[in-house]
Amino acid sequence: MNARYLTVDVFTDRRFGGNQLAVFPDARQIKSDLMPRIAQEFNYSETTFVLPPERPEHTARVRIFTRQTELPFAGHPNVGTAFVLATDAERAGTSLGVTVMFEETAGLVPVDLMRDAAGRVVGATLTAPQPLSVGARVPAEVVAACAGLERAAVLTAAHEPTVTSVGLPFVIAEVTGDALTIAKPDTAAFADAARTLPIAGGGRFSLFLYARAAGGPGAPHLRARMFSPLGGTVEDPATGSANAALVGLLASFDPAATTTLALDVVQGVEMGRPSRLALGADKRAGAVVRVRVGGRCAPVMEGTLRA
């Protein structure tokens, strides 16, 4: 077996920023039981394996593995995989068009390709496969303990910490800007929370913290960090699925029955891997009907996995 792979940094326009991803664009030779071991070997937050679609009108079936488990959906793996497949097609003198369609466990994921003025693919924007789901509330004291913060650092005026999902659940909480900078995950507190609280995800407790940014021309609207030590990712430099859930949650609180919310988010700064994500949510007749997250990608490496 000789399986080609490419690595790409997602939600950045330069190498060694953003979130790392390994992509196997043709994984037909790779057995399912080998996929998680390959993901462990790369030691990135996720690795994707591209397979023929079950329905011919779709682009591919995509399987997503963390270091420990297979995910039904994730953000940066979809953006990065679409970028890799599209650039591969460009190399071959063909084009994947405007939108690719990925079959995943959580559902069908449309991904729109981003191109520069010369027509080259530079990134992608996904549409979440599931509608916004807002679940259990989580006590602010629990969030503070998990993030190593004082209770007062967790803000609840806009909303309490809440389990939110558009395909993958996260506990989303707003914190002060200073608290976001100093937050440090406490694995024991995460384990206690996953064991004692009604948190979706089969004990997988992923905490997504955000803070309002200072603003100004060219500045992001929000800053964010994501911790998931029980899932093998102590901290993630860019979490598309969590950011997608966030923009959907914030749109749901907007008093307008029909609106479009657009936000820019910076994540990964504290890790030395700055990432920038463009978020969007459409609300119609009081319900959030579509959530999007996108950004640019930077190719890094290419190689072959040998049997």
- Residues recognised as catalytic: 46
Q: How far apart are CA 167 and CA 65, in angstroms?
A: 15
Q: Cα dist. 292→99, 110, 215 in Å? A: 13, 10, 22
Task: Compute CA 298 distance to the chain's CA centroid, rounded to the nearest angstrom.
Answer: 16
Q: Residue 133 corresponds to which tokens in the numbers above?
A: 């789901």
Strands 70-71 and 99-104: unpaired
Q: How far apart are CA 105 and CA 64, in angstroms?
A: 9
C-alpha angle 208/210/214, rounded to 5°? 165
Q: How far apart are CA 31 and CA 190, in angstroms?
A: 33
